[in-house]
Structure 1
């Protein structure tokens, strides 16, 4: 553009000069070697201009002829270079497409047309061709040569990094990435690889410094950089929480300033305050995060912040969370759990059912099963809710790269990616449940509460035989009559309850193991509880001693005892004046008097 303007300006000046001469006519006389030459000024100016033009044309022709060999060499060199670059471009495209034959052919052509010292891309084309053909050692040597050249240093380190990652040499790959990021922090791949390496080794301060460099170089956007820095600060706080709770709290609070809904940072800061018994500040940390993103771990820490609280106090704290975030499944679930612990079954059931209506999932139905077991104990209803839980979607968890974890981690254990864990349902679950699970249909098919059956036991009590010496006569010492007491096994039957005062049913005696006989009357123990509704035998009347051993079995009476009551003693009534003797039928008295 400048040359064009200059040419136009020169032409205009020449035209102005000729116009000025035309307005001022005159005669130019020249006497040279005895001859007089006269001409006008316009003709003289035109001859001077023509002479100058002729001189310039003659000079151009002479310079062209003089420089023609060099111009010819330059022309052919440019043509050769163009052909070489065309072959290089074709070879790189072939290498990218995986065409090893064409890439190797273009490599040979490029080397014949271009010099490797003048064009470094020839080394890259050779290395790519070696990689396609499987010559990894040769390719690595090419990349090392490129890394030693300042012009191709970054390209060589990139190739060495990729090859090290492919072969599983993660330490070498990290070293290559660090070398590249040291001189060029603006390289995204080098900065990201170095950041992940620092995170895997737990060098949180170095990782934070590298992240700040990336942010200053505009490699990472501001929002993403703040989120990653908050994750790094949280990881640093978790690591030093046990040895320095106050420093961990400061790091966690700094993370919350960068990312207000970061649940792990809020948990660390709140736990640090709870170690100092500062419940007010712990609640001030947890409540804003709960409003932004309700999380079950926050609810658990908030409700159980103080170990000495009663179940009612924990229920009130859970209701406080519900007031902060109403109509939320996590709020309803927290209240239902606290109400179950406080034995408020109606509220627990209502909140759990409301949570199931919002999002039916496994933990909600399991909670309903726990409520039924605690309140009614009906196994049919418990199994019904557990069957609903089997068909319901799974609960959310920390998921990253196919790994499901109950605890948050800053780095993925599989890929090493920073901030990889997300709170969501495991993706092993299908998009929708296999069957339609809803709390309304579950309630419609819920069985009624089964009536509890009264289980009774029939117990046979043998009546001991008591002897008394003759009055006023010193009896001869004779062998004492041996009385064998037979204990019959307990038989459990499901029969209607026997009303008090009715005669007990007598069952046939069965053989049982012999026990040590009872010497005397009723046991002198007022703490023995008598059986309800069963007649008790009166103490036997005194009889004359006998000289022969009685082989007759003692009569046995049968009493009915409810399940869970104490078994009566082995004889008559206890020596307790506070125990009232029940009335005994006449036929039973006669039977007892026989002995």
Structure 2
């Protein structure tokens, strides 16, 4: 385009110049070697321009002839290179489509037309073809060669990382990812993998440093980087809570500044402040978190803030939480649990039923079963509430990649993903009862609740005494000797004491009783002996 504009401007300038000379006629005289040469001015200008054009054409012809061997060589070289790049492009497309035969053929053709040191993509094509054909050793060799080349180092490291992940060599994959992240922190895959590996190993300081590098390189957005930093600070605060409460408090407070409504950070900050006897500040943090989003762990931490409080004092603290967020399921459940601990069964039952009426779920019915056990002890009513709990939807929990945890974790134990846990209902929960598929209703459960059975349990002491007396009577009867037989008339007393012949002795009767059982006695043949022991 620029050349066309220059050409048009030049033509216009020449035309204007000739018209200007035509409007101003004159003669041009030249004396050379004693001769006088005269010509019109317009003719002289035209001849001068023609001479310049002829010189330029002659120079172009001479230059073309002079450089023709090099031009011919360059033409064939460019044609060969174009064919090589065409083969390389076709091979990469074939490798992406999974055509191993065509990819291998195009790789060989590309290597014959282009030098591999001039075009490193040939190594990539050969590695991809080897992966498709299942020759992983050859592919790893190609990736190692690319990793040693500064131009293709990042590509080779990624290939080696993926191969290590495929083989399950997590340590080797971690080393490749960290090597790539150290040399190029702007690579998203390397930075993310290294961040997850360092988080899994508990290297929170290194993970935070890498996150700052990613933020500076603009690999992650500012908002995402701040949330991840808050998660890492919370995880580090959790590790410091036992040994360094002050450091845990600082990290958790910083995390709350980055993520205002992050429940784990608020809980850790409050526990660290409790250890420093700063109850008012810790309570303020928990109250703010409770206002943002009621969470059962926040409620338990707030109610059990002071170990020396009585059950009534804990109930008052739970009622304060309810006042902050009235008409909330979590508030009602916290008050119901505190009332149960304080033996205020009427309030506990009323709050638990209100929570079940507002949101019928597992925790409300289990709490009703606990109240029933503590107040009445009726097994029928307890089993009734347990059956309702089985039918009700499950309570929210910390869920990550299908894994349900009873506490928050910074990293998913299944995939290693950072900040994967969410507070929500687990997957695959039952939406209603099993029998008819309708929703669980607290009103229906109350209507079908069996009445309380009146039982008179006997005194355990009396039952134990009766059992001991019966056992003593049985042992005394077994140990009592049988009465001696009267001597026969006409025989001396000594004769009656002599034993009868062995043949005349009767066979012993078999014994079928327990080891301490005297057996069944014949009441007609032998009267019942008297004993001093009385059972009643």
Q: Same fold (TM over 0.5)?
A: yes
Alignment correspondent of 2:164: 164
Alignment correspondent of 1:447: 450
What SS is found at the alignment partner of 2:423?
Answer: strand
- Mind listing any 5+ residue stretches in structure 2 that lack a counterpart? 463-467, 478-527
- Asked if 1:266 corresponds to 2:266, the answer is yes
Alignment correspondent of 2:490: none
Note closer, same or farther for the CA distance 1:37–1:405 as it changes in structure 2 (3 Å cut). same
Q: Where do residues 244-283 of structure 1 align in structure 2 (5 Å cutoff)?
A: 244-283=244-283
* Superposed displacement of residue 399, structure 1: 2.3
Q: Give the whole-Å Cα distance in 2 for the aligned partners of 1:556 and 1:367.
A: 50
Note closer, same or farther for the CA distance 1:374–1:253 as it changes in structure 2 (3 Å cut). same
Alignment correspondent of 1:364: 364
Q: Give the whole-Å Cα distance in 2 for the aligned partners of 1:29 and 1:224.
A: 85
Note closer, same or farther for the CA distance 1:108–1:379 as it changes in structure 2 (3 Å cut). same
Q: Give the whole-Å Cα distance in 2 for the aligned partners of 1:196 and 1:251.
A: 20
Q: Give the whole-Å Cα distance in 1 for the aligned partners of 2:453 and 2:430.
A: 36
Alignment correspondent of 1:503: none
Q: Give the whole-Å Cα distance in 1 for the aligned partners of 2:303 and 2:233.
A: 26
Q: Where do residues 525-544 of structure 1 align in structure 2 (5 Å cutoff)?
A: none
> Which of the pair has the greater relative contact order for Cα pairs under 8 Å at 6+ separation?
1
* Superposed displacement of residue 62, structure 1: 2.7
* Superposed displacement of residue 556, structure 1: 13
The structure in which a higher percent of residues are helix is: 2
Q: Where do residues 394-473 of structure 1 align in structure 2 (5 Å cutoff)?
A: 394-430=394-430, 434=434, 435-436=437-438, 437-452=440-455
Q: Where do residues 175-254 of structure 1 align in structure 2 (5 Å cutoff)?
A: 175-254=175-254
* Superposed displacement of residue 336, structure 1: 0.8
Q: Give the whole-Å Cα distance in 1 for the aligned partners of 2:532 and 2:92.
A: 112
Contact 2:248 2:269 survives alignment (8 Å): yes
Q: Give the whole-Å Cα distance in 1 for the aligned partners of 2:469 and 2:414.
A: 69
Alignment correspondent of 1:106: 106
Note closer, same or farther for the CA distance 1:71–1:512 as it changes in structure 2 (3 Å cut). closer
Alignment correspondent of 1:391: 391
Q: Give the whole-Å Cα distance in 2 for the aligned partners of 1:103 and 1:29.
A: 77
* Superposed displacement of residue 59, structure 1: 2.3
Q: Give the whole-Å Cα distance in 2 for the aligned partners of 1:60 and 1:432.
A: 92
Q: Where do residues 312-351 of structure 1 align in structure 2 (5 Å cutoff)?
A: 312-351=312-351
Note closer, same or farther for the CA distance 1:197–1:553 as it changes in structure 2 (3 Å cut). closer
Question: How many residues are matched?
Answer: 476
CA deviation vs aligned residue, 1:325-350 (integer Å, no higher than 9, x gap)? 22221111101111112222222122
CA RMSD of aligned residues (A): 2.9
Q: Give the whole-Å Cα distance in 2 for the aligned partners of 1:74 and 1:258.
A: 62
Alignment correspondent of 1:380: 380
Contact 2:110 2:122 survives alignment (8 Å): yes
Contact 2:360 2:393 survives alignment (8 Å): yes
Note closer, same or farther for the CA distance 1:58–1:313 as it changes in structure 2 (3 Å cut). same
* Superposed displacement of residue 165, structure 1: 1.4
Alignment correspondent of 1:75: 75
Note closer, same or farther for the CA distance 1:555–1:408 as it changes in structure 2 (3 Å cut). closer
Report which stretch shifted further, 437-446 or 154-163: 437-446
* Superposed displacement of residue 65, structure 1: 2.9
Note closer, same or farther for the CA distance 1:35–1:375 as it changes in structure 2 (3 Å cut). same
Q: Give the whole-Å Cα distance in 1 for the aligned partners of 2:242 and 2:248.
A: 9
Note closer, same or farther for the CA distance 1:446–1:20 as it changes in structure 2 (3 Å cut). same
Report which stretch shifted further, 102-111 or 15-24: 15-24
Alignment correspondent of 1:4: 4
* Superposed displacement of residue 252, structure 1: 0.9
Note closer, same or farther for the CA distance 1:264–1:22 as it changes in structure 2 (3 Å cut). same
What SS is found at the alignment partner of 2:70?
Answer: helix
- Mind listing any 5+ residue stretches in structure 1 that lack a counterpart? 460-486, 491-510, 516-550, 558-566, 571-595
Alignment correspondent of 2:514: none
CA deviation vs aligned residue, 1:445-477 (integer Å, no higher than 9, x gap)? 222333446989xx9xxxxxxxxxxxxxxxxxx
Q: Give the whole-Å Cα distance in 2 for the aligned partners of 1:362 and 1:12.
A: 92
